[in-house]
Structure 1
């Protein structure tokens, strides 16, 4: 978080000299809390904005108005309201506002995540969905996932023999990075420029783009504030490390023409015009912008999902016992575990859904921007309004979920709710035009990793810890990883 409490005075007294608070009363806007002059509601965000917004929405409603500096925003926090934004009025609400550091990291909005709705975005989205994220493409990378998970299992076996705890936050991030480097960039993580910095880069990107940057809300002095808080410097450091890795991976492809059928190979074909994008000129910055999405989303989401699943399993021994029993009954002395096995693991699939519900990886989706004036839930949403979707609030809403704070996978028994964007009670990957296109790719790794962890090993907490001692607090960024790293000791079993 950007240390708002230490800079509120600077923002207030400097801004008051250069601008008047010209807030205009508009008819039929959604209700919202009172605002301070100049800063609006920024002081109410706290260190975990998704939680703060949920608390405010309990008082002001499922569609709530907030003001962040110069920016008018609304926050949607209930399934019926979110459905209007992401489905009924998706075309009117699917653009992106200009976000200073998102633009910097995406090579001036050349990616899919931060790019505004435009012909460029539509063409690239269509091409990447058709070429990169089809079931056939996901299947073609299966051998890479299986090889990297096998290597990960070997590491855990060694840790088990020494009774060493495994740091899941770190090791699962490294597993995901190893997979993404091979299928996305055609190189091994080991020995690359990313090997010693991947954790800093991935977490740095998520922290920077998940921050409420002063530059976005205070056009005149925001950049100065971000330099004082260090946000600008952090963004530049992360960008340089990431850009250097992209250069290395692209150079590797250009020097070795035998590398085929990975993501960079496809993007280089687009650069050369071998794959058409109509009138769009695809440049090296376009390639790097899309690689940002592949690198960060591909690594972080899978790793954090498995970490949260294992966290809730170790904190709930009943659920762990039931999940392991199912996996071992289905697999039955099968040494070579494949992704196909997940289809028969009904309880494990419920466990994953429940982990997504209680700890969505991105609790506050990247804001959208209204392309034109729209009416949602009976309220007026003016053009250019930023629209936040509070996934965390939906997933913890007691009017939607019974006993929402408890981890109960059985709530999905005989329940058709899924996480693929069609059920607005459970939206870990969003929905509509801006839904995460790499869902299939990421979940293939999640399932394969979990099956191996539960089938081959038993798990115990270190230092005499009990299940009730497991810390469940999340940190903040665009994604919310577990704040205190999960450390578990693996135990060799007859299935290892």
Structure 2
């Protein structure tokens, strides 16, 4: 279906056969990204992997991502980071003291997602659209969101560049990026703005589906607790034995794909796009969900029945629950 959005002709692909033609057969011709106001600002002038157009820089970043950040070897080496952060998260839930940085970053990500999918008149009417954006406040909201994200990213980078920082036994992603920044050879020199751009890169639905089906939640919890025992936490070495948990994660993605419409593409020749962080993302989701189900029993607030859970979704850049539901964590008693 062809739609004309201002100056932008847009084709909507809505059948599996056509999607196969676009995503597979002609992927090399249709894999760049359009230049949009929101994505350009929040990705530091397209210095990220998701929104950047095909270019020499994008090819170099893809190479770095596959070789230095998201290779299977590197994903395994980041295991300690995932386990440490999940442990902090579980402790914060147990103590009912959510970490302020985590809560703030979650709010920033939600705002950024909204801004990336929000209508900007400049994208469709380049000569006078900026006037509309001034009246609607889109430009000021975008700049406010960018400033908040930039401050957060800068704080993380400054912590890693601090000469007084204790050298960690294992490096995390920011350590790798800052080391690449110092590398003076070839194209791997990364300015600070480029590192922030790379940093721009599903528990709600999974937990909601399990709460709606208590027998399924009990089955996956029994599997996790039987396999892990009383050692206090789920480690990544346990995940491969948790086959039912893996099926729960896969089914959640099938029922509720986080990006069902994908990011808009633009016609160009000679390149391919895929998600380099897929392995790391799935590893993080499996580990976090396993620990949530291992450490706590989950209940709905008083007066709420499982039949009352509304699974309607709202979609912008990604999909999320239209009416988020809060759950009550009850520490599992091993006695």
TM-score w.r.t. the length of structure 2 is: 0.89
1:253 matched to which residue of 2? 160
After TM superposition, give the deviation of residue 195 of structure 1 in Å. Answer: 6.1
Q: List runs of 5+ in structure 2 lacking aligned partners.
A: none
1:353 aligns with 2:250: yes
Structure 2 residue aligned with 1:264: 174
Q: Is the 8 A contact 1:309 1:351 kept in 2?
A: yes
Select which of 283, 296, 299 maps to 1:457: 296
Q: Measured at CA, do residues 265 and 494 of structure 1 come closer, stay the same or move farther in structure 2, by a change above 3 Å?
A: closer
The 5-angstrom pairing of residues 68-87 of structure 1 reads: 68-87=5-24
Instruction: Please point out which of 78, 81, 98 is paired with 2:35.
Output: 98
The answer (yes or no) to whether the contact 1:85–1:93 under 8 Å persists in 2 is: yes
* Correspondence for 1:388: none
| Matches of 2:261 and 2:334, distance apart in 1 | 40
Aligned length: 332
Q: 1:247 to 1:354 in 2, by over 3 A?
A: same
1:88 to 25, 29, 52: 25
Alpha-carbon distance in structure 1 between the residues aligned to 2:152 and 2:52: 22
- Tell me how far 1:222 sits from its aligned partner: 1.9
241 and 463 in structure 1: CA distance in 2 versus 1, 3 angstrom threshold: same
Instruction: Find the counterpart in structure 2 of residue 492 from structure 1.
Output: 331
Q: Distance in 2 between matches of 1:255 and 1:334?
A: 35
1:54-453 matches, cutoff 5 A: 64-159=1-96, 197-256=104-163, 259=167, 261-274=171-184, 276-277=186-187, 282-293=190-201, 305-371=202-268, 433-453=272-292
Relative to structure 1, the CA distance from residue 359 to residue 282 in structure 2 (aligned partners, 3 Å threshold; closer, same or farther) is same
Aligned residues of 2:205 and 2:321 also touching (Cα < 8 A):
yes
Going from structure 1 to structure 2, the CA distance change for 1:456 and 1:253 (only over 3 Å counts) comes to: closer
Change (3 A) 1:329 1:370: same
Going from structure 1 to structure 2, the CA distance change for 1:273 and 1:334 (only over 3 Å counts) comes to closer
Helix, strand or coil for the counterpart of 1:108? coil
**Structure 1 residues 326 and 246: alpha-carbon distance in aligned structure 2, compared to 1, 3 A threshold:** closer
Q: What SS is found at the alignment partner of 2:114? A: helix
Quote how far apart the aligned CAs of 1:259 are.
Answer: 4.5
Query: 2:180 and 2:81 mapped to 1: Cα distance?
Result: 24
TM superposition shift of 1:275: 5.0
Per-residue CA deviations over 1:442-490 (Å, capped at 9, x if unaligned) read 2222111211222232211102211110121223321222232321112
CA drift of 1:344 comes to 1.9
How far 1:266 moved relative to its partner?
3.0
Q: Does 1:480 align with 2:313?
A: no
C-alpha RMSD of the superposition: 2.6
Distance change (3 Å), C-alpha of 1:351 and 1:78: farther
The structure with more radius of gyration: 1
- 1:227: Cα distance to partner? 2.6
* TM-score, structure 1 normalization: 0.62
Q: 1:269 to 1:493 in 2, by over 3 A?
A: closer
1:267 Cα offset (Å): 2.8
Evaluate the alpha carbon distance shift between residue 359 and residue 220 of structure 1 in structure 2; reply closer, same or farther with a 3 A threshold.
same
- Cα distance change on mapping 1:144 and 1:369 into 2, 3 Å: same
